[in-house]
Structure 1
Amino acid sequence: MGTEGGTFRVIAGRYRLEARIGRGGMGVVWRATDQLLGRRVAVKELPQDETLSEADARLQRDRTLREASAVAQLRHPHVIVVHDVVEQDERPYIVMELIDGGSLADRIAAHGPVDAAEAARIGADLLSALRAAHEGGVLHRDIKPANVLVESGTGRVVLTDFGIAQVAGATTLTETGSFVGSPEYTAPERMSGVRTGPEADLWSLGALLCTALSGESPFRRDSLGGILHAVVIDEIRPPAQAAPLLPVVRGLLERDPGRRLDAVEAERMLRAFLDTGRTPPRRAPERSYTPTQRDLPLRRPAVLRDHPLRRSAPERDQPPRPSPAPSRSVRGVRAALAGSRRGALLAALLVAALAGAGVSAALLADRGGDGNGRTGPGSSAPGTPTAGSTSGTPTAGSAPGTPTTGSVPGTPTAGSTPTAALPIAPSGYRVAEDPAGFALAVPEGFGREPQGERVFYVSPGETFRIGVRVVEPEPGGPLGVMRRAAAKGPAVNPGYRDGRVTSTAHRGHPAALWEFTWDGFSAAEGARHTYDLCWEADGRLYDVWVSAPVGKVREAKEHFDVAVDTFTAT
């Protein structure tokens, strides 16, 4: 290996290539000797694209050399050291330090997942490396276990393979010509094809932590289309092994880049875990911004009003805590999530786009919600009123079209079509007019968190979670949907118990109530109870649920009753 005609190949008159030690989509890595300084090094030989014209090939080489030179300026103990960038026979080579040790992917394959402390150590070191890279204007864009080296003996963590890195202000050939990276670790905003920032690297690190803890990425699927759907649309369910680091993992795997956990805060939380054995809560981000109408809570007079032009109204309910307006790509993804058919269409479009961009199956070789964890239509979370509840939900046998006691005036009756009238919020609640096409009353202080086809309104600290899902009707109706979900309860809800499904009605429409207790997604979260009501009306399947700690069931039931009573399709 590394020889030509029985002799070692020497490039730039200095580096003797002795043995090939790695090969990937971005080139071949050689073990080599720097004959001038007498030291061992690693040399990456970057491939040539034979389809390019001579001018484009030269442009590619120039960009590669320029961006490799930028990476060479980085000085950090957890970033691979780039010694030199050279060119031989019109082919670029990157000369780097030689690490005695394998990759994190090799380690997981040979010895299985790591424990929470080791994952926290690796994650904190990588976050420190990413901060240095981002401050230097360099985005990595391919964070995955195969690109993390662990030095033998010292355990030093080294981020390597900046082969598709992007320098701020520069346009890379890979960016204009094809999709690059590993889909299982690629942020949803990058999937959309728009220009991305440092937040995309942080998403990839969140997926890497899940892999280190469980042995595989949470987005691994049997096909490229399945991976894209999981990244962009499906509910994100971190593995059970991530429980000790769950606040960090959830924060990094936030689909909205504006709400994603930043590198400084994520590193602080992981190092606190290493020091104390507990992951502290996330601190509120300190961001300066100019409030927009989207940031302000919805205010309406205490009377019902028709809104025939609601879709053009500037007021859209957002979490009461201010947050930066989502990026164009995130808004596009949210819009696509309004219905299951549109979500499927988005996944199909993404598959077509990536296929057209030259994504191959070789990329794959590198490679929960709240309450019930269902992934198919109707997989809503807890939050359904029981038959005969004081919420105003009708019991079985209610006359179709007859408003129940306590129901909100102006809500549609059986056989009617949804109107633009919005519900009135009881004291302590506010009306949330959701972009997904519904409105309901939620407690003051609850913030909106979309997750795929589901929309959550959660309390600070996520003690209470109100979930909503609107999808196409399914075989068997609401009762069939709830029974199938209950059958899967033990598999998707840790410690699932005391589950029961009851046939009922809601505003004269067929409905089913599912109620159960489970252990939560972590020991720290504790046991939780879920109420979940599913009903069909006007050709749609509606699912509303509430989940809360078992010690706060009475408050949860109140939130649930209010949510169901005030729910209005818009």
Structure 2
Amino acid sequence: MAGRYRLIEPLGSGGMGTVWRAADRVLGREVAVKELRGPAELAGPEREAFTLRTVREARAAGRLNHPGVVAVYDIFEDCGHPWIVMQLVRSCTLGSLVHDEGPLPPRRVAEIGVQLLAGLQAAHAAGVLHRDVKPDNVLITDEGRAVLTDFGIATLEDDSPVTRTGTLVGTPAFIAPERASGGSAQRASDLWSLGVTMFLAVEGRSPFQRGNALATLAAVVYDHHGPLLRAGALAPVIDGLLAKDPARRLGGAEAESCLRAIVEGALPEHASVPTVPRPAAPPSAQTLPVVSVPAQRPSAPPSAPPFVSPSVSPQARPGTPGATVPGPALPVRRSRRWNLAAATGALVVLVGLAAGGMAYLTAGRPPGGTVPGVSTPTVTVFRIRSTPPAPEDESRPAVRPPGDPADEPGRQRPTRPHEKKDKAERGNSGKGLGAGE
């Protein structure tokens, strides 16, 4: 190939091509040659774009010179597709190691993480993003050193992308949420992929792998990664790297500091360490208190405080599940008239519910104007009246419970308080306002 490389044997193959062990007859050394065939459906302009991108990305990887990154020596085109010549590393992949030996000890995974972080930071400093960090692209040498390989889909941060429209480049289970949601790759995206790789290495399973690619991408965007049962002191680092929001994700320097502490024994292997402080998360449905009070509109007239169901615990506080937003304090009146008014208000609520004339809120059907993002309300709130209670020196009409004989058909309509004051003073005589009025 290209007048100098003789293919000896295949070392592995995948959807994009085959990696060969080859001999460089010019320099007299063995190398790895990656044959990049690309997707079979590519043709015409798309095939040309694929070749152009491969050449560009191989050149990007060729800019790197770090012991934690497999070196790229050459690139050429033959048989209608590109070939990349790389450093031959006698090793096995991290994926095959976990498959054969099971989950690795936390300290060993921390050591691998430190070495991979060093390679990624060198790439990022050169403006190169990997975009496909995963266990099968991590080589474990015979000496136990971790080396990052396959920058075949790497990209330069300052280059315009050359990809097919709508194509998502990378392995679904290891793609960062911002990329799975249609965003562009960034340095934090590589750190997310490193976190998933470390999760698999220490737990022995992929946190987001599902039955198909679409379900896997949905899990990446929406699902939590699940419990870390074997990680020990490594758990806070992985948690930090797997923050959905890249702005809150653990940075490379912070992650390296924590991992080195585990490797050097400053932290017990199976102990937990404090989580690195991150900026506060924006409010979400998981962090907001459960509220069932409609949002106040500027044009709405002031109203009296709502009546709260007595099933609510008096210890509930705003910010805890099941709490309501406190309204203005009700005036405390310890007179007999106030107690009568409170009982009257409760009966109004019951009568209103029976007649279907009172609005209510439920968890399944929030009305318009509810607080955005808040779900599962546990408190039902009713508005008793739109005006304050009458002063104590005024007469109060009595309220009969449903089923009072005065409600039967044929009964004379009771006189309202303003029509005849002496009837309003009868209190609970059964001649007050009816439920239907």
Aligned CA distance change for structure 1 residues 225 and 50 (closer, same or farther; 3 Å): closer
Alignment of 1:316-395 (within 5 A): 389-391=313-315
Tell me by how many angstroms 1:78 deviates: 0.7
The equivalent position to 1:437 in structure 2, one of 368, 373, 379, is 373
- Per-residue CA shift, 1:533-560, capped at 9, x if unaligned? xxxxxxxxxxxxxxxxxxxxxxxxxxxx
Check conservation: 2:73, 2:87, Cα contact below 8 A: yes
Check conservation: 1:142, 1:186, Cα contact below 8 A: yes
Tell me by how many angstroms 1:49 deviates: 4.9
Tell me by how many angstroms 1:305 deviates: 11
Tell me the TM-score normalized by structure 1. Answer: 0.51
* Partner of residue 441, structure 1: none
The equivalent position to 1:91 in structure 2, one of 81, 98, 104, is 81
The equivalent position to 1:213 in structure 2, one of 202, 212, 219, is 202
* Partner of residue 179, structure 1: 168
Check conservation: 1:392, 1:407, Cα contact below 8 A: no
Tell me by how many angstroms 1:417 deviates: 4.5
Check conservation: 2:233, 2:273, Cα contact below 8 A: no
Tell me by how many angstroms 1:222 deviates: 2.9
Aligned CA distance change for structure 1 residues 208 and 306 (closer, same or farther; 3 Å): closer
Secondary structure of the structure 1 residue equivalent to 2:209: coil
Q: Which letter maps to 1:437?
A: G
CA distance in 1, matches of 2:326, 2:261: 48
1:67 aligns with 2:51: no
Aligned CA distance change for structure 1 residues 388 and 91 (closer, same or farther; 3 Å): closer
CA distance in 1, matches of 2:316, 2:184: 49
Secondary structure of the structure 2 residue equivalent to 1:271: helix
* Partner of residue 127, structure 1: 117
* Partner of residue 68, structure 2: 78
Aligned CA distance change for structure 1 residues 406 and 27 (closer, same or farther; 3 Å): closer
5+ unaligned residues in a row in structure 2: which ranges? 284-292, 300-310, 318-322, 331-348, 363-369, 383-437
Tell me by how many angstroms 1:136 deviates: 1.1
CA distance in 2, matches of 1:40, 1:241: 39
Q: Which letter maps to 1:29?
A: V
- Identical counterparts, % of pairs: 41
The equivalent position to 2:247 in structure 1, one of 253, 258, 267, is 258
* Partner of residue 143, structure 1: 133
* Partner of residue 226, structure 1: 215
- Per-residue CA shift, 1:63-86, capped at 9, x if unaligned? 211210110110111101111112
Larger radius of gyration: 2
5+ unaligned residues in a row in structure 1: which ranges? 1-10, 288-292, 295-303, 311-386, 394-403, 420-433, 439-469, 474-504, 510-570
CA distance in 2, matches of 1:405, 1:177: 45
The equivalent position to 1:118 in structure 2, one of 95, 99, 108, is 108
Q: Which letter maps to 2:52?
A: D
Secondary structure of the structure 1 residue equivalent to 2:64: coil
* Partner of residue 249, structure 1: 238
Check conservation: 1:22, 1:28, Cα contact below 8 A: yes
Tell me by how many angstroms 1:277 deviates: 2.5
CA distance in 1, matches of 2:206, 2:110: 16
Tell me by how many angstroms 1:175 deviates: 5.8
CA distance in 1, matches of 2:4, 2:52: 21
Check conservation: 2:51, 2:82, Cα contact below 8 A: yes
* Partner of residue 185, structure 2: 196
* Partner of residue 287, structure 2: none
Tell me the matched-pair count. Answer: 321
Check conservation: 1:238, 1:250, Cα contact below 8 A: no
The equivalent position to 1:40 in structure 2, one of 11, 25, 30, is 30
Check conservation: 2:324, 2:379, Cα contact below 8 A: no
Check conservation: 2:113, 2:259, Cα contact below 8 A: yes
Aligned CA distance change for structure 1 residues 88 and 277 (closer, same or farther; 3 Å): same
CA distance in 2, matches of 1:34, 1:100: 16
CA distance in 2, matches of 1:254, 1:34: 44
Tell me by how many angstroms 1:141 deviates: 1.0
Secondary structure of the structure 2 residue equivalent to 1:102: strand
Check conservation: 2:73, 2:86, Cα contact below 8 A: yes
Check conservation: 1:80, 1:159, Cα contact below 8 A: yes
Task: Kindly indicate which of the two structures has a greater share of residues assigned to strand.
Answer: 1
Tell me by how many angstroms 1:173 deviates: 3.7
Q: Which letter maps to 1:259?
A: R
